[in-house]
Amino acid sequence: VPELPTALLVRFEGSHPKRTIGYRSDIDALPITEDTQLPFSSVHDGRMHACGHDVHMSLALAITKYFSEHQPEDHVIIFFQPAEEEKSGGKLAYELNLFEGQWRPDEFYGIHDQPDLPAGTLSTLAGTLFAGTAELKVDVIGQGGHAAYPHLVHDPIVGAAELITMLQTVVSRGVD
């Protein structure tokens, strides 16, 4: 698919299928320089699998390897999803009808690692559990002037500062 050229869908036939289970993993490296000095650090300057993408991808590869050697009872689809951070790759894949026919899962799962929890611990919550990213572009237009004539100024700096403060409180005061 030209819109998602690095997307990969893998399907395993179930031995006695009653449903199709999907697992989704983000696969993109992010434009961040890895500075850990660990032996498995990124070898590409300015790009690394941050935000747990390496964990998500490793898990997807492990699931794929497992089911390549052990036929599942239900059908299983593994979706290696690109473009999570900038283009909403999952939504784009859905809008491109990639999950139709035999590729349509009855249930779709994904994970997000939480390094603050002990290893082996799973947590879940009905509703929103983690935030996503989005871009908002706003032009604040004003009119500068002289400090001696503040009544003739429409100060865009003060307006922009107020807007930033208000936007920050939307999440911190309105979203659990």
Q: Which is higher by pLDDT, 21 or 117? A: 21
135 belongs to the catalytic site: no
Domain 8-109: give its CATH architecture: 3-Layer(aba) Sandwich (3.40)
Helix (H, G, I), strand (E, B) or coil at 51: coil
| 61-103 confidence digits (pLDDT tens) | 999 999 999 999 999 999 999 887 777 888 899 999 999 999 9
Q: What average pLDDT does the structure give for the chain?
A: 87
Helix (H, G, I), strand (E, B) or coil at 109: strand
84 belongs to the catalytic site: no
Asked if 147 contacts 122 with a C-beta cutoff of 8 angstroms, the reply is no
- For 55, counting Cβ atoms within 10 Å of its Cβ (0-12 exposed, 13-18 middle, 19+ buried), the class is middle
- In the chain, the amino acid numbered 92 is L
Both tokens assigned to 157 = 């700096």
DSSP one-letter code for 118: P
Residues of the chain with CATH 3.40.630.10: 8-109
| 140-167 confidence digits (pLDDT tens) | 999 988 889 988 999 898 899 999 999 8
Q: How far apart are CA 11 and CA 105, in angstroms?
A: 10
- Active-site pick, 3, 74, 85, 155: 85
Determine the pLDDT at residue 131: 59
Confidence band for 128, pLDDT divided at 50, 70 and 90: low
- Active-site pick, 3, 26, 35, 84: 26
Confidence band for 170, pLDDT divided at 50, 70 and 90: confident
